[in-house]
Chains A and B, each alone.
Chain A
Amino acid sequence: MISQAQEIKTADRPNYTKKELVADHPTWCPGCGDFSILSIYFKLMEKLQVPHEKITSVAGIGCSSRFPYFVNAYGVHFLHGRGVPFATGISLMRPDLHVFMFGGDGDAFSIGGNHLDHAARKNIRMTYVIMDNFVYGLTKKQTSPTSPIGFKSKTDLTGSIDQPVNPMKKLIAAGTTFVARTHSHLPNHVMEMMEKAMDHDGFSVVECLSECTEFYPGAFDSANPRKGGTFTLVPPYHDVTDEVAAYTLAMAPFPGYFGVFYETQRPTKNALEAGLIADAKAKTENASTLDLLQKTFDRFS
């Protein structure tokens, strides 16, 4: 039923170009940070030549989650907050695919917060790109779980009063095995982070600051060199396997550091389940479905 994990890059066929991956024209507002992530996704697929029919992107609900419509590949537009468990179902049953999950801060840290923790703890093989804009854009400017205190929105007219989530701290604490942070205004860095995330065997998450030019313009200028900010990379001496050091980096005040905060190797649930199957099949000597079931029914008779 579940085949052995196949190499993702297969196929003796002519290479495709990223043009073939372009689908509907994105409905995002001009200047939206999400454009940059989309074009880097095309570039990454083109670079790795992932077979066209195996590119699979899943999204929740929000501006960012319109993503799959703009990619000419298998895509799913699922429910708000539930993209991660949906992608889990695909990932566990299809070792031949590398599932990409796209969503925003509402999906990841608010309505779907619980799923993020459990996919991290179970180390489900997939890459989750969180397009974090610090605001609810699709519903037109309400406070998000990452909106800073004082941010004025339609649901906080006098400024947000609730402590925002610290994405890096949450991800590290949940047991995510690859945690990185990037900024959509620096495409080369986004590319580097997404490629590293895809290389990682496990649950890899990239938080990508992605500016909402309509409802929170300038939110990330302080990290954008072209707008007079400073883009501070994770220091070269940082040991990515050191959980405490990663946590310390995450404590830095906004705009903080960019790069890989944490990476560790831990068996994926995909591998552990495959192990259970291998053991069970060895024990039952690869018995057929009919033989296994008949044996069980005989026991009940």
Chain B
Amino acid sequence: MIDDKTTNTVAAKSGRTANGRQIQDAVIRFAGNSQDGIQAIGGFLARLAGRTDKDVMTYMTIPATISGGPSIYQVRLATGEVLSAGDDVDILVAFYQHSYQDHIATLRDGGILLYDSDNVQPAPVEKRYRAVGVPITSRTVEAIGGTAKDKGKNMFVLGLIACMFDLDVPKLEGMLRAYYRAKGQDVIRNVLVAFNAGYSYNLGGAVETFAFAPEEGRAGRRQVVMDGNQAIAYGALAAGVRFGAAYPITPWSTVMEILRAELPKYGGIFVQAEDEIAAVAMACGASYAGHVALTGSSGPGLSLKSEAIGWAVMAEIPLVIVDVQRGGPATGLPTNVEQSDLNIARYGSHGDCPRIVIAPSSVEDCFYTTVEAVNLAREYSCPVILLSDQALATRFETWEMPDLKKYVQDISPSFEPRGPNYKPYANTPDGIAHHAAPGTPMLDGKYPVVTGLEHDEYGHPANAPITHVMMVAKRRRKLLVLDAKLPPPEMYGPPEGNVLLIGWGSTKGPLHEVVDAARAAGESVTTVHLRYLMPLQPGTKEIMNGFDHVFVVELNDEGLYGYGQLAGILRASFCDPKIRGINKTDGLPFKVREILAMMREKVKEAEQPVLV
């Protein structure tokens, strides 16, 4: 939030001296239509922040229409760690009347409304915020001229914001030139003309300028700015994945677009398959041939892949399946976030079908969990499902440049001869067995068949009762072995207290802010983050014992009995009736305020004396 201390700063880098109010944190929401290029404004601001030692997180909603429709892009820029995209906005930029009407309520008291006075007529100004009209459309048209119409008004707005926040203009200009280089000199000229028109627009003192306070320790740190899908794609490349296959679906598609373009450089192949089932089948084939493969989708695609996931469990084939979750069921909400695929990720398929499920908590974590997913699949010879979500997929975050040396690995198959008496499904004490890829000579001349039928240790079909009992136990045992090796879940806050909030996936950031806010208000609240969802991390049950109330915070429905999918799993696993849910299904990420309010309400409810 913009605080009220006014100090003088020098915008040395841009060669401009200004009186800027020093701030820690600013939330800016751009509201317009999807073809206005507001995502580009947000993208440039995010990248600039990453290059100037700031932390950033973005948030956007995109309409699921082919072209047009209202769209927003929110950027939170700060010095210090940013955990969520911000509950309320400090500055609302409204391009149209509907943008203004739909989003004015999100503007915090004392905030600033910047509106396009060519398109927006605000209601008589409320005292709670300041309204500043700028003829964005006409000034852009005037500046660029020609036939560009109002194209470029996003750049005009970027100029306005650059001026207000005293941003590093030379760096920003460099980024604009680089980004539009491929489009030719004319486009670059128009972009810079519009940007400069915005930058030099005289706000007439209606709005002061701001400057971000420098943060100790951050300067000089190398930062990366990426969205979650980029982090997954590059994580897969680092981990050595050289084959992928998928079918396009929102919000997964950008992962496959990147891999299709990048894999050939690494000697690999990505296939756009004819359907979701073919994609997972191709991935199974490549994995069988010795190259651990990746496929991915969103919920509807995961449903279609379920049969093959069961095959990979039965045949014990390593495989990574990324699910970028969106609102469901059916076509549902293609461009909104939900955490409602947990059950299908854990159980989807038929029969007893143990597999590994992990969920990244941030964009940075998308990179590391992808590497881990590949290695878990290889180590345990089973499918690993990575549960990302639409919010992670589409938001930009700054994170520390990873030490890539540590993660880059070559996982080419070995064709070392095996045997004699090689068993593809050896019933080992830990249940783990690694199959041989075709091309591997067998010393005793006996070659294995990999199969989806229940089989004996040699892969021969075998439906004897005792064989099925043994093999079901073997496949289960692998996960128990992993479970014993996992670290306990990460806790934020003291290990005992009144309220424990359990989260998974992208709710981690907001939950940390909730704990900070609640503790600042004198409430005893702790949060725990479950990174592994199958198997569950050891110690989860013991942690719950230290609290009076346990709430599982999830972006899914509270179900018939008042708790969501993870809560149901925890109840079934640990028989603890204290576990309840904090859920919502509006397709938007949790706000800190929402969680606080629901938590307080539920605690109050539970503490009401029961009258007889």
* Chain A contact residues, CB within 8 Å of chain B: 1-2, 20, 23-24, 52-56, 58, 68-69, 72-79, 82, 85-94, 96-97, 114-115, 117-118, 273, 276-277, 279-281, 283-284, 287, 289-290, 292-294, 296-297, 300-301
Report the separation of the CA atoms of residues A121 and B245 in the bound assembly, to the nearest whole angstrom.
17
B281 proximal to A (CB < 8 A): yes
Indicate if the CB atoms of B438 and A281 lie closer than 8 Å: no
Indicate if the CB atoms of B278 and A118 lie closer than 8 Å: yes
Interface residue stretch chosen among B27-35, B193-201, B221-229, B335-343: B221-229
Query: Min CB distance, A17 to chain B, in Å?
Result: 12
Indicate if the CB atoms of A2 and B438 lie closer than 8 Å: no
Please judge, given known A-B contacts A78-B311, A90-B438, whether A287 and B288 are in contact too, CB under 8 Å.
Answer: no
Query: Min CB distance, B157 to chain A, in Å?
Result: 24
- Chain A residues within 8 Å of B50, by CB: 300-301
Question: What DSSP secondary structure best describes chain B's contact surface?
Answer: mixed
B412 proximal to A (CB < 8 A): yes
Query: Min CB distance, A170 to chain B, in Å?
Result: 15
Indicate if the CB atoms of B288 and A96 lie closer than 8 Å: no
- Chain B residues within 8 Å of A300, by CB: 50, 224-226, 230
Query: Min CB distance, B542 to chain A, in Å?
Result: 39
Q: In chain B, residues 249-270, which have Cβ atoms closer than 8 Å to a Cβ of chain A?
A: 262, 264-269
Interface residue stretch chosen among B10-18, B69-77, B210-218, B442-450: B442-450
Please judge, given known A-B contacts A54-B438, A97-B438, A293-B238, whether A85 and B278 are in contact too, CB under 8 Å.
Answer: yes
Indicate if the CB atoms of A77 and B453 lie closer than 8 Å: yes
Chain B 437-468 near chain A by CB (<8 Å), digits 1 or 0:
01111100111111111000000110000000
Question: What DSSP secondary structure best describes chain A's contact surface?
Answer: helix
Query: Min CB distance, A297 to chain B, in Å?
Result: 6
Report the separation of the CA atoms of residues A97 and B262 in the bound assembly, to the nearest whole angstrom.
25
B277 proximal to A (CB < 8 A): yes
| Closest chain B residue, CB of each to CB of A301 | B224
Indicate if the CB atoms of A294 and B274 lie closer than 8 Å: no
Indicate if the CB atoms of B446 and A78 lie closer than 8 Å: no
Indicate if the CB atoms of B285 and A77 lie closer than 8 Å: no
Chain B 387-420 near chain A by CB (<8 Å), digits 1 or 0:
0000000000000011011001010100000000
Report the separation of the CA atoms of residues A70 and B265 in the bound assembly, to the nearest whole angstrom.
40
- Chain A residues within 8 Å of B238, by CB: 289, 293
Indicate if the CB atoms of B281 and A297 lie closer than 8 Å: no
Please judge, given known A-B contacts A76-B451, A290-B408, whether A89 and B438 are in contact too, CB under 8 Å.
Answer: no
- Chain A residues within 8 Å of B153, by CB: none
- 11 other contacts beyond A69-B451, A89-B288, A93-B290, with CB at 8 A cut-off? A69-B461, A77-B449, A77-B450, A85-B245, A89-B282, A90-B438, A93-B286, A97-B439, A280-B264, A301-B50, A301-B224
Indicate if the CB atoms of A24 and B460 lie closer than 8 Å: yes
Query: Min CB distance, A37 to chain B, in Å?
Result: 17
Query: Min CB distance, B107 to chain A, in Å?
Result: 32
- Chain B residues within 8 Å of A79, by CB: 281, 307-308, 311, 452
Indicate if the CB atoms of B460 and A114 lie closer than 8 Å: no
Question: How many chain B residues touch A (Cβ–Cβ < 8 Å)?
Answer: 68
- Chain A residues within 8 Å of B440, by CB: 53
Report the separation of the CA atoms of residues A23 and B449 in the bound assembly, to the nearest whole angstrom.
10
B291 proximal to A (CB < 8 A): yes
B242 proximal to A (CB < 8 A): yes
Indicate if the CB atoms of B286 and A89 lie closer than 8 Å: yes
- Chain B residues within 8 Å of A289, by CB: 237-238, 240, 266, 408, 410
B234 proximal to A (CB < 8 A): yes
| Closest chain B residue, CB of each to CB of A114 | B274
Q: Which of B282, B284, B441 has the most chain A CB atoms closer than 10 A to its own CB? A: B282
Please judge, given known A-B contacts A79-B281, A92-B269, A94-B438, whether A297 and B286 are in contact too, CB under 8 Å.
Answer: no
Report the separation of the CA atoms of residues A276 and B267 in the bound assembly, to the nearest whole angstrom.
9
- Chain A residues within 8 Å of B563, by CB: none
Q: Which of B223, B224, B269 has the most chain A CB atoms closer than 10 A to its own CB? A: B269
Report the separation of the CA atoms of residues A87 and B278 in the bound assembly, to the nearest whole angstrom.
10
| Closest chain A residue, CB of each to CB of B293 | A89
B426 proximal to A (CB < 8 A): no
Query: Min CB distance, A263 to chain B, in Å?
Result: 24
Report the separation of the CA atoms of residues A55 and B448 in the bound assembly, to the nearest whole angstrom.
11
Please judge, given known A-B contacts A97-B438, A297-B224, whether A89 and B289 are in contact too, CB under 8 Å.
Answer: yes
| Closest chain B residue, CB of each to CB of A2 | B267
- Chain A residues within 8 Å of B279, by CB: 85
Q: Which of B223, B230, B451 contacts A77 (CB 8 A)?
A: B451
- Chain A residues within 8 Å of B449, by CB: 68-69, 74-77
Indicate if the CB atoms of B439 and A277 lie closer than 8 Å: no
Q: Which of B240, B267, B290, B453 contacts A281 (CB 8 A)?
A: B267
| Closest chain B residue, CB of each to CB of A89 | B285
B518 proximal to A (CB < 8 A): no
Q: In chain B, residues 278-318, which have Cβ atoms closer than 8 Å to a Cβ of chain A?
A: 278-279, 281-291, 293, 307-308, 311, 315
7 smallest beta-carbon distances between A and B, as pairs: A89-B285, A1-B267, A85-B281, A280-B264, A89-B286, A74-B438, A118-B274
B1 proximal to A (CB < 8 A): no
Q: In chain B, residues 42-93, which have Cβ atoms closer than 8 Å to a Cβ of chain A?
A: 50-51
Report the separation of the CA atoms of residues A89 and B295 in the bound assembly, to the nearest whole angstrom.
12
- Give 8 pairs: A residue, B residue, CB < 8 Å, sorted on A: A56-B438, A74-B447, A77-B450, A78-B281, A82-B277, A90-B289, A118-B278, A293-B408
B271 proximal to A (CB < 8 A): yes
